[in-house]
Chains A and B, each alone.
Chain A
Protein backbone atom coordinates (compact mmCIF):
# COMPACT_ATOMS: atom_id res chain seq x y z
CA UNK A 1 0.00 0.00 0.00
CA UNK A 2 1.29 3.44 -0.86
CA UNK A 3 0.84 6.47 1.28
CA UNK A 4 1.17 10.04 0.27
CA UNK A 5 2.13 12.17 3.20
CA UNK A 6 2.74 15.88 2.76
CA UNK A 7 4.18 15.24 -0.65
CA UNK A 8 6.66 12.64 0.48
CA UNK A 9 5.80 9.25 -0.84
CA UNK A 10 6.45 6.66 1.78
CA UNK A 11 6.35 3.07 0.77
CA UNK A 12 4.52 1.05 3.33
CA UNK A 13 7.24 -1.02 4.93
CA UNK A 14 5.09 -4.14 4.73
CA UNK A 15 5.40 -4.14 0.94
CA UNK A 16 9.19 -4.05 1.16
CA UNK A 17 9.02 -6.79 3.75
CA UNK A 18 6.85 -8.87 1.39
CA UNK A 19 9.45 -8.56 -1.34
CA UNK A 20 12.26 -9.41 1.04
CA UNK A 21 10.25 -12.34 2.36
CA UNK A 22 10.01 -13.72 -1.16
CA UNK A 23 13.73 -13.20 -1.48
CA UNK A 24 14.40 -15.14 1.74
CA UNK A 25 12.17 -17.99 0.60
CA UNK A 26 13.82 -18.46 -2.75
CA UNK A 27 17.38 -17.40 -2.14
CA UNK A 28 18.52 -20.86 -1.06
CA UNK A 29 17.46 -22.31 -4.37
CA UNK A 30 19.98 -20.15 -6.18
CA UNK A 31 23.54 -21.33 -6.49
CA UNK A 32 25.36 -18.07 -5.79
CA UNK A 33 27.92 -16.82 -3.31
CA UNK A 34 27.14 -14.88 -0.13
CA UNK A 35 28.52 -11.68 -1.63
CA UNK A 36 26.30 -11.99 -4.66
CA UNK A 37 23.36 -12.68 -2.39
CA UNK A 38 23.96 -9.43 -0.57
CA UNK A 39 24.22 -7.55 -3.85
CA UNK A 40 21.00 -9.14 -5.05
CA UNK A 41 19.18 -8.09 -1.90
CA UNK A 42 20.41 -4.54 -2.26
CA UNK A 43 19.54 -4.28 -5.94
CA UNK A 44 16.11 -5.73 -5.22
CA UNK A 45 15.47 -3.00 -2.68
CA UNK A 46 16.84 -0.32 -4.99
CA UNK A 47 14.82 -1.59 -7.91
CA UNK A 48 11.71 -1.46 -5.81
CA UNK A 49 12.38 2.07 -4.65
CA UNK A 50 13.11 3.14 -8.22
CA UNK A 51 9.51 2.41 -8.98
CA UNK A 52 8.24 5.38 -6.99
CA UNK A 53 7.32 8.55 -8.67
CA UNK A 54 8.81 11.65 -7.15
CA UNK A 55 6.61 14.35 -5.75
CA UNK A 56 5.49 16.61 -8.53
CA UNK A 57 6.03 14.16 -11.35
CA UNK A 58 3.51 14.70 -14.12
CA UNK A 59 2.15 11.19 -13.91
CA UNK A 60 -0.85 12.04 -16.09
CA UNK A 61 1.40 12.99 -18.99
CA UNK A 62 3.50 9.89 -18.46
CA UNK A 63 0.36 7.74 -18.47
CA UNK A 64 -0.89 9.47 -21.62
CA UNK A 65 2.38 8.79 -23.42
CA UNK A 66 2.62 5.25 -22.21
CA UNK A 67 -0.81 4.46 -23.56
CA UNK A 68 -0.81 6.48 -26.77
CA UNK A 69 2.57 5.50 -28.14
CA UNK A 70 1.77 1.76 -28.17
CA UNK A 71 -1.73 2.57 -29.39
CA UNK A 72 -0.25 3.95 -32.61
CA UNK A 73 1.13 0.49 -33.23
CA UNK A 74 -2.22 -1.24 -32.98
CA UNK A 75 -4.23 -2.23 -35.99
CA UNK A 76 -6.82 0.25 -37.04
CA UNK A 77 -9.75 -2.02 -37.58
CA UNK A 78 -9.64 -5.48 -36.21
CA UNK A 79 -12.15 -7.83 -34.77
CA UNK A 80 -11.64 -10.62 -32.36
CA UNK A 81 -13.54 -13.79 -33.03
CA UNK A 82 -14.77 -14.95 -29.67
CA UNK A 83 -15.54 -18.62 -29.22
CA UNK A 84 -14.27 -19.39 -32.67
CA UNK A 85 -17.54 -18.71 -34.44
CA UNK A 86 -19.55 -15.73 -35.41
CA UNK A 87 -19.07 -13.29 -32.57
CA UNK A 88 -17.17 -10.33 -33.93
CA UNK A 89 -16.19 -8.08 -31.09
CA UNK A 90 -14.56 -4.71 -31.76
CA UNK A 91 -10.91 -4.71 -30.87
CA UNK A 92 -7.88 -2.56 -31.46
CA UNK A 93 -7.94 1.20 -31.77
CA UNK A 94 -11.72 1.59 -32.29
CA UNK A 95 -12.34 -0.19 -28.99
CA UNK A 96 -9.75 1.88 -27.12
CA UNK A 97 -11.35 5.06 -28.44
CA UNK A 98 -14.76 3.76 -27.46
CA UNK A 99 -13.66 3.30 -23.86
CA UNK A 100 -11.78 6.58 -23.49
CA UNK A 101 -14.56 8.53 -25.18
CA UNK A 102 -17.02 6.88 -22.77
CA UNK A 103 -19.53 6.07 -25.49
CA UNK A 104 -22.88 5.17 -24.00
CA UNK A 105 -23.09 1.86 -25.85
CA UNK A 106 -20.24 -0.06 -27.48
CA UNK A 107 -20.58 -0.98 -31.15
CA UNK A 108 -20.50 -4.64 -30.18
CA UNK A 109 -21.82 -5.08 -26.66
CA UNK A 110 -21.02 -8.51 -25.28
CA UNK A 111 -21.53 -10.47 -22.10
CA UNK A 112 -19.72 -13.34 -20.51
CA UNK A 113 -21.93 -15.44 -18.30
CA UNK A 114 -21.04 -18.26 -15.95
CA UNK A 115 -23.54 -20.79 -14.68
CA UNK A 116 -24.34 -21.99 -11.19
CA UNK A 117 -22.77 -25.29 -10.17
CA UNK A 118 -25.94 -27.35 -10.53
CA UNK A 119 -26.51 -25.96 -14.03
CA UNK A 120 -22.97 -26.52 -15.20
CA UNK A 121 -23.70 -29.25 -17.74
CA UNK A 122 -23.71 -29.11 -21.51
CA UNK A 123 -27.44 -29.70 -21.95
CA UNK A 124 -28.48 -27.19 -19.30
CA UNK A 125 -26.03 -24.64 -20.66
CA UNK A 126 -27.49 -24.98 -24.15
CA UNK A 127 -31.01 -24.64 -22.72
CA UNK A 128 -30.09 -21.48 -20.88
CA UNK A 129 -28.39 -20.13 -23.98
CA UNK A 130 -31.58 -20.68 -25.98
CA UNK A 131 -33.61 -18.80 -23.41
CA UNK A 132 -31.20 -15.88 -23.54
CA UNK A 133 -30.88 -15.57 -27.29
CA UNK A 134 -33.50 -13.38 -28.91
CA UNK A 135 -35.89 -15.50 -30.95
CA UNK A 136 -38.31 -13.83 -33.32
CA UNK A 137 -40.99 -15.55 -35.32
CA UNK A 138 -38.83 -15.37 -38.43
CA UNK A 139 -36.20 -17.52 -36.76
CA UNK A 140 -38.56 -20.41 -36.10
CA UNK A 141 -40.65 -20.51 -39.24
CA UNK A 142 -40.08 -22.31 -42.50
CA UNK A 143 -42.44 -20.32 -44.66
CA UNK A 144 -45.01 -17.57 -44.45
CA UNK A 145 -47.50 -17.23 -47.22
CA UNK A 146 -50.62 -15.27 -48.07
CA UNK A 147 -53.85 -17.17 -48.56
CA UNK A 148 -55.68 -14.85 -50.94
CA UNK A 149 -58.81 -17.03 -51.03
CA UNK A 150 -59.49 -16.63 -47.32
CA UNK A 151 -57.50 -13.41 -46.95
CA UNK A 152 -55.28 -14.88 -44.20
CA UNK A 153 -51.57 -15.24 -43.53
CA UNK A 154 -50.25 -18.75 -42.99
CA UNK A 155 -47.09 -19.29 -41.01
CA UNK A 156 -45.47 -22.69 -41.17
CA UNK A 157 -43.33 -23.41 -38.14
CA UNK A 158 -40.11 -25.37 -37.99
CA UNK A 159 -41.30 -28.30 -35.88
CA UNK A 160 -37.84 -29.52 -34.93
CA UNK A 161 -36.67 -26.09 -33.92
CA UNK A 162 -39.64 -25.19 -31.74
CA UNK A 163 -39.35 -28.55 -30.00
CA UNK A 164 -35.68 -27.89 -29.39
CA UNK A 165 -36.39 -24.43 -28.02
CA UNK A 166 -39.52 -25.76 -26.25
CA UNK A 167 -41.84 -23.07 -27.52
CA UNK A 168 -45.51 -24.01 -27.51
CA UNK A 169 -47.47 -22.85 -30.62
CA UNK A 170 -50.20 -21.27 -28.45
CA UNK A 171 -47.53 -19.16 -26.77
CA UNK A 172 -46.54 -17.87 -30.18
CA UNK A 173 -50.15 -16.94 -30.88
CA UNK A 174 -50.46 -15.04 -27.61
CA UNK A 175 -47.12 -13.29 -28.20
CA UNK A 176 -48.34 -12.20 -31.62
CA UNK A 177 -51.68 -11.02 -30.20
CA UNK A 178 -49.90 -8.92 -27.63
CA UNK A 179 -47.85 -7.24 -30.31
CA UNK A 180 -50.45 -6.85 -33.08
CA UNK A 181 -54.01 -5.89 -32.22
CA UNK A 182 -57.20 -7.15 -33.88
CA UNK A 183 -55.85 -10.46 -34.94
CA UNK A 184 -57.03 -14.05 -34.63
CA UNK A 185 -54.68 -16.97 -34.71
CA UNK A 186 -55.67 -20.61 -35.14
CA UNK A 187 -53.25 -23.47 -34.81
CA UNK A 188 -53.48 -26.09 -37.53
CA UNK A 189 -50.79 -28.71 -37.06
CA UNK A 190 -47.51 -27.12 -38.01
CA UNK A 191 -49.22 -24.04 -39.31
CA UNK A 192 -50.66 -21.01 -37.63
CA UNK A 193 -53.29 -19.14 -39.58
CA UNK A 194 -53.70 -15.47 -38.78
CA UNK A 195 -56.89 -13.67 -39.66
CA UNK A 196 -57.50 -9.96 -39.35
CA UNK A 197 -60.62 -8.71 -37.55
CA UNK A 198 -61.45 -6.20 -40.18
CA UNK A 199 -64.29 -5.73 -42.66
CA UNK A 200 -62.28 -5.15 -45.79
CA UNK A 201 -58.89 -6.83 -45.81
CA UNK A 202 -56.76 -5.80 -48.76
CA UNK A 203 -53.74 -7.61 -50.11
CA UNK A 204 -51.63 -4.68 -48.97
CA UNK A 205 -52.84 -5.21 -45.40
CA UNK A 206 -51.83 -8.85 -45.60
CA UNK A 207 -48.37 -8.00 -46.90
CA UNK A 208 -47.84 -5.52 -44.04
CA UNK A 209 -49.04 -8.10 -41.55
CA UNK A 210 -46.69 -10.71 -42.97
CA UNK A 211 -43.66 -8.51 -42.41
CA UNK A 212 -44.85 -7.46 -38.96
CA UNK A 213 -45.28 -11.10 -37.98
CA UNK A 214 -41.69 -11.92 -38.85
CA UNK A 215 -40.42 -9.44 -36.27
CA UNK A 216 -42.62 -10.63 -33.39
CA UNK A 217 -40.50 -11.40 -30.36
CA UNK A 218 -41.20 -14.91 -29.12
CA UNK A 219 -38.50 -15.93 -26.71
CA UNK A 220 -35.27 -14.73 -25.14
CA UNK A 221 -33.96 -11.28 -24.37
CA UNK A 222 -34.33 -8.48 -26.89
CA UNK A 223 -31.08 -7.27 -28.34
CA UNK A 224 -29.09 -10.41 -27.71
CA UNK A 225 -28.48 -11.67 -31.20
CA UNK A 226 -26.05 -14.45 -30.47
CA UNK A 227 -25.40 -16.71 -27.53
CA UNK A 228 -22.67 -19.28 -27.72
CA UNK A 229 -21.70 -21.93 -25.21
CA UNK A 230 -18.04 -22.63 -24.75
CA UNK A 231 -16.23 -24.85 -22.31
CA UNK A 232 -13.38 -23.19 -20.49
CA UNK A 233 -11.73 -25.43 -17.94
CA UNK A 234 -14.55 -27.06 -16.01
CA UNK A 235 -17.03 -24.30 -16.67
CA UNK A 236 -19.50 -23.88 -19.47
CA UNK A 237 -19.40 -20.21 -20.32
CA UNK A 238 -21.98 -18.34 -22.36
CA UNK A 239 -20.70 -15.64 -24.67
CA UNK A 240 -23.33 -13.30 -26.01
CA UNK A 241 -23.49 -10.56 -28.55
CA UNK A 242 -25.72 -7.90 -27.10
CA UNK A 243 -25.87 -6.99 -23.46
CA UNK A 244 -28.59 -6.76 -20.85
CA UNK A 245 -27.36 -7.66 -17.39
CA UNK A 246 -30.62 -6.84 -15.62
CA UNK A 247 -32.73 -9.23 -17.67
CA UNK A 248 -30.12 -11.98 -17.76
CA UNK A 249 -29.93 -11.93 -13.97
CA UNK A 250 -33.58 -13.03 -13.83
CA UNK A 251 -32.92 -16.22 -15.79
CA UNK A 252 -32.61 -19.33 -13.69
CA UNK A 253 -29.21 -20.95 -13.44
CA UNK A 254 -27.09 -17.85 -14.07
CA UNK A 255 -24.28 -17.20 -11.64
CA UNK A 256 -25.12 -13.55 -11.02
CA UNK A 257 -21.93 -12.85 -9.12
CA UNK A 258 -19.80 -13.67 -12.15
CA UNK A 259 -21.73 -12.21 -15.07
CA UNK A 260 -19.85 -9.42 -16.78
CA UNK A 261 -20.43 -7.16 -19.73
CA UNK A 262 -18.18 -4.96 -21.84
CA UNK A 263 -20.72 -2.14 -21.65
CA UNK A 264 -19.19 0.08 -19.00
CA UNK A 265 -22.27 2.23 -18.50
CA UNK A 266 -24.44 -0.82 -18.02
CA UNK A 267 -22.03 -2.16 -15.40
CA UNK A 268 -22.13 1.21 -13.63
CA UNK A 269 -25.92 1.16 -13.64
CA UNK A 270 -26.27 -2.41 -12.42
CA UNK A 271 -23.43 -2.90 -9.95
CA UNK A 272 -21.93 0.52 -9.36
CA UNK A 273 -19.14 2.84 -10.34
CA UNK A 274 -16.37 0.84 -8.67
CA UNK A 275 -17.22 -2.15 -10.83
CA UNK A 276 -17.22 0.13 -13.86
CA UNK A 277 -13.73 1.28 -12.95
CA UNK A 278 -12.54 -2.32 -12.76
CA UNK A 279 -14.16 -3.00 -16.14
CA UNK A 280 -12.44 0.00 -17.75
CA UNK A 281 -9.07 -1.31 -16.59
CA UNK A 282 -9.71 -4.89 -17.66
CA UNK A 283 -11.20 -3.91 -21.02
CA UNK A 284 -8.27 -1.67 -21.96
CA UNK A 285 -5.75 -4.21 -20.71
CA UNK A 286 -7.35 -6.97 -22.74
CA UNK A 287 -7.61 -4.84 -25.87
CA UNK A 288 -3.99 -3.73 -25.65
CA UNK A 289 -2.76 -7.20 -24.84
CA UNK A 290 -4.60 -8.68 -27.82
CA UNK A 291 -2.56 -6.28 -29.94
CA UNK A 292 0.67 -7.38 -28.32
CA UNK A 293 1.10 -4.13 -26.42
CA UNK A 294 2.42 -4.37 -22.90
CA UNK A 295 1.50 -1.16 -21.08
CA UNK A 296 2.03 -1.02 -17.33
CA UNK A 297 -1.31 -1.45 -15.62
CA UNK A 298 -0.61 1.49 -13.28
CA UNK A 299 -1.14 3.94 -16.11
CA UNK A 300 -4.51 2.38 -16.85
CA UNK A 301 -5.43 2.43 -13.17
CA UNK A 302 -4.71 6.15 -13.10
CA UNK A 303 -6.85 6.75 -16.17
CA UNK A 304 -9.73 4.66 -14.80
CA UNK A 305 -9.58 6.40 -11.42
CA UNK A 306 -9.68 9.79 -13.09
CA UNK A 307 -12.53 8.83 -15.39
CA UNK A 308 -14.67 7.69 -12.46
CA UNK A 309 -13.69 10.19 -9.78
CA UNK A 310 -16.80 12.31 -10.20
CA UNK A 311 -19.00 9.30 -9.43
CA UNK A 312 -20.05 9.09 -13.05
CA UNK A 313 -18.07 7.94 -16.07
CA UNK A 314 -16.45 10.91 -17.75
CA UNK A 315 -14.88 10.75 -21.17
CA UNK A 316 -11.35 11.93 -21.76
CA UNK A 317 -11.85 14.78 -24.13
CA UNK A 318 -13.73 17.93 -24.94
CA UNK A 319 -17.00 16.93 -23.30
CA UNK A 320 -15.42 15.06 -20.43
CA UNK A 321 -12.41 15.64 -18.26
CA UNK A 322 -10.62 18.21 -20.42
CA UNK A 323 -13.82 20.18 -20.76
CA UNK A 324 -14.41 20.25 -17.03
CA UNK A 325 -11.03 21.67 -16.00
CA UNK A 326 -11.42 24.61 -13.67
CA UNK A 327 -8.95 26.85 -15.48
CA UNK A 328 -10.26 28.82 -18.46
CA UNK A 329 -6.88 29.07 -20.14
CA UNK A 330 -6.30 25.33 -19.84
CA UNK A 331 -9.64 24.64 -21.49
CA UNK A 332 -9.03 27.25 -24.18
CA UNK A 333 -5.66 25.71 -24.85
CA UNK A 334 -7.19 22.31 -25.50
CA UNK A 335 -10.09 22.73 -27.90
CA UNK A 336 -12.70 25.33 -28.82
CA UNK A 337 -10.45 28.23 -27.81
CA UNK A 338 -12.77 31.04 -28.80
CA UNK A 339 -15.84 29.53 -27.14
CA UNK A 340 -14.11 29.24 -23.78
CA UNK A 341 -12.46 32.66 -23.91
CA UNK A 342 -15.69 34.40 -24.91
CA UNK A 343 -17.66 32.63 -22.20
CA UNK A 344 -15.06 33.56 -19.62
CA UNK A 345 -15.02 37.17 -20.77
CA UNK A 346 -18.80 37.42 -20.62
CA UNK A 347 -18.97 35.88 -17.16
CA UNK A 348 -15.91 37.72 -15.86
CA UNK A 349 -14.03 34.64 -14.76
CA UNK A 350 -10.53 34.96 -13.35
CA UNK A 351 -7.76 32.39 -13.67
CA UNK A 352 -5.55 31.51 -10.74
CA UNK A 353 -2.72 30.32 -13.01
CA UNK A 354 -2.16 27.20 -10.97
CA UNK A 355 -1.97 24.70 -13.79
CA UNK A 356 0.85 23.76 -16.12
CA UNK A 357 -0.58 25.00 -19.40
CA UNK A 358 -1.44 28.44 -18.06
CA UNK A 359 2.07 28.97 -16.80
CA UNK A 360 3.63 27.80 -20.05
CA UNK A 361 1.39 30.30 -21.87
CA UNK A 362 2.52 33.27 -19.83
CA UNK A 363 6.12 32.11 -19.57
CA UNK A 364 6.24 31.47 -15.85
CA UNK A 365 7.71 28.42 -14.17
CA UNK A 366 5.07 25.72 -14.33
CA UNK A 367 4.10 24.19 -11.03
CA UNK A 368 5.26 20.70 -11.88
CA UNK A 369 8.30 18.63 -11.01
CA UNK A 370 11.08 20.80 -9.57
CA UNK A 371 9.07 23.90 -10.43
CA UNK A 372 6.71 22.94 -7.65
CA UNK A 373 9.02 23.74 -4.78
CA UNK A 374 10.13 27.20 -3.88
CA UNK A 375 12.00 26.39 -0.70
CA UNK A 376 13.08 22.84 0.01
CA UNK A 377 13.72 21.79 3.55
CA UNK A 378 14.20 18.64 5.49
CA UNK A 379 11.19 17.70 7.52
CA UNK A 380 10.94 14.90 10.00
CA UNK A 381 9.25 12.65 7.49
CA UNK A 382 11.77 13.20 4.72
CA UNK A 383 14.59 12.55 7.18
CA UNK A 384 12.90 9.27 7.99
CA UNK A 385 12.73 8.35 4.31
CA UNK A 386 16.43 9.13 3.86
CA UNK A 387 17.19 6.90 6.80
CA UNK A 388 15.13 4.10 5.28
CA UNK A 389 16.88 4.49 1.97
CA UNK A 390 20.26 4.16 3.62
CA UNK A 391 19.35 0.89 5.28
Chain B
Protein backbone atom coordinates (compact mmCIF):
# COMPACT_ATOMS: atom_id res chain seq x y z
CA UNK B 1 0.00 0.00 0.00
CA UNK B 2 1.50 3.26 -1.10
CA UNK B 3 0.33 6.48 0.51
CA UNK B 4 -1.13 8.91 -2.00
CA UNK B 5 -1.56 6.35 -4.76
CA UNK B 6 -4.87 6.06 -6.54
CA UNK B 7 -6.76 2.84 -6.10
CA UNK B 8 -9.62 1.33 -8.04
CA UNK B 9 -13.05 0.96 -6.49
CA UNK B 10 -14.54 -2.41 -5.57
CA UNK B 11 -16.60 -2.92 -8.71
CA UNK B 12 -13.69 -2.03 -10.95
CA UNK B 13 -11.55 -4.62 -9.21
CA UNK B 14 -14.24 -7.30 -9.31
CA UNK B 15 -14.80 -6.78 -13.04
CA UNK B 16 -11.14 -6.74 -13.98
CA UNK B 17 -10.09 -9.43 -16.45
CA UNK B 18 -7.22 -10.62 -14.30
CA UNK B 19 -9.25 -11.02 -11.13
CA UNK B 20 -10.89 -14.43 -10.67
CA UNK B 21 -13.98 -14.92 -8.54
CA UNK B 22 -13.23 -14.96 -4.81
CA UNK B 23 -15.89 -16.50 -2.59
CA UNK B 24 -15.83 -16.49 1.19
CA UNK B 25 -16.54 -19.93 2.62
CA UNK B 26 -18.90 -20.30 5.56
CA UNK B 27 -17.91 -22.38 8.58
CA UNK B 28 -19.35 -25.60 7.22
CA UNK B 29 -17.73 -25.32 3.79
CA UNK B 30 -14.46 -24.40 5.45
CA UNK B 31 -14.63 -27.55 7.54
CA UNK B 32 -15.31 -29.68 4.46
CA UNK B 33 -12.39 -28.21 2.53
CA UNK B 34 -9.94 -28.66 5.39
CA UNK B 35 -11.08 -32.23 5.89
CA UNK B 36 -10.94 -33.02 2.19
CA UNK B 37 -7.34 -31.89 1.81
CA UNK B 38 -6.35 -33.02 5.31
CA UNK B 39 -4.80 -29.66 6.20
CA UNK B 40 -5.08 -26.97 8.84
CA UNK B 41 -5.97 -23.37 8.04
CA UNK B 42 -2.31 -22.35 8.49
CA UNK B 43 -1.18 -24.78 5.82
CA UNK B 44 -3.32 -23.28 3.08
CA UNK B 45 -1.78 -20.67 0.76
CA UNK B 46 -2.25 -17.18 2.10
CA UNK B 47 -3.65 -13.89 0.98
CA UNK B 48 -3.15 -10.59 2.76
CA UNK B 49 -6.14 -8.88 4.33
CA UNK B 50 -5.14 -5.61 2.65
CA UNK B 51 -5.01 -7.26 -0.75
CA UNK B 52 -7.03 -5.21 -3.24
CA UNK B 53 -9.25 -8.11 -4.28
CA UNK B 54 -9.85 -9.23 -0.70
CA UNK B 55 -11.01 -5.73 0.21
CA UNK B 56 -13.28 -5.64 -2.80
CA UNK B 57 -14.87 -8.99 -1.99
CA UNK B 58 -15.09 -8.09 1.70
CA UNK B 59 -13.25 -10.97 3.33
CA UNK B 60 -11.90 -10.75 6.87
CA UNK B 61 -8.86 -12.15 8.66
CA UNK B 62 -9.33 -15.87 9.30
CA UNK B 63 -11.68 -16.44 6.38
CA UNK B 64 -10.94 -19.03 3.76
CA UNK B 65 -11.61 -17.80 0.24
CA UNK B 66 -12.37 -20.08 -2.65
CA UNK B 67 -10.83 -18.79 -5.85
CA UNK B 68 -12.30 -20.05 -9.08
CA UNK B 69 -9.70 -19.53 -11.75
CA UNK B 70 -9.95 -19.99 -15.43
CA UNK B 71 -7.25 -22.46 -16.25
CA UNK B 72 -5.50 -23.14 -19.52
CA UNK B 73 -5.03 -26.79 -18.69
CA UNK B 74 -8.12 -27.81 -16.74
CA UNK B 75 -10.81 -25.35 -17.84
CA UNK B 76 -11.66 -24.28 -14.33
CA UNK B 77 -9.41 -24.76 -11.35
CA UNK B 78 -10.23 -24.12 -7.75
CA UNK B 79 -7.78 -22.74 -5.25
CA UNK B 80 -8.11 -21.89 -1.58
CA UNK B 81 -6.37 -19.17 0.34
CA UNK B 82 -6.73 -18.08 3.93
CA UNK B 83 -6.84 -14.41 4.75
CA UNK B 84 -4.04 -13.34 7.08
Chain A residues proximal to chain B, CB less than 8 Å: 1-2, 4-6, 15, 18, 245-247, 249-250, 256-258, 260, 267-275, 278-279, 297-298, 301, 305, 308-312
Contacts and interface: CB of A to CB of B under 8 A. Distances in A.
Given A1-B77, A308-B45, 7 more contacts: A4-B37, A257-B15, A269-B1, A270-B52, A271-B13, A272-B47, A274-B67
A256 to B, nearest CB: 5
B53 A273 contact: yes
Contacts of A246: 5-8
A273 to B, nearest CB: 5
A257 B16 contact: yes
Contacts of B73: 297-298, 301
A257 B17 contact: yes
If over half of A's interface residues share one DSSP class (helix, strand or loop), that class is named, otherwise mixed; here it is: helix
A278 B6 contact: no
Nearest to A312: B48
A251 to B, nearest CB: 11
Interface residues of B, number: 40
Contact of B51 (A256, A279, A311): A311
Interface in B25-84: 36-38, 45-48, 51-54, 56, 67, 69, 71-79, 81, 84
Contacts of A305: 45, 79
Nearest to B74: A1
A301 B69 CA distance: 12
Given A6-B38, A279-B18, A270 B48 contact: no
A272 B8 contact: no
B37 A249 contact: no
Contacts of B6: 246-247, 249-250
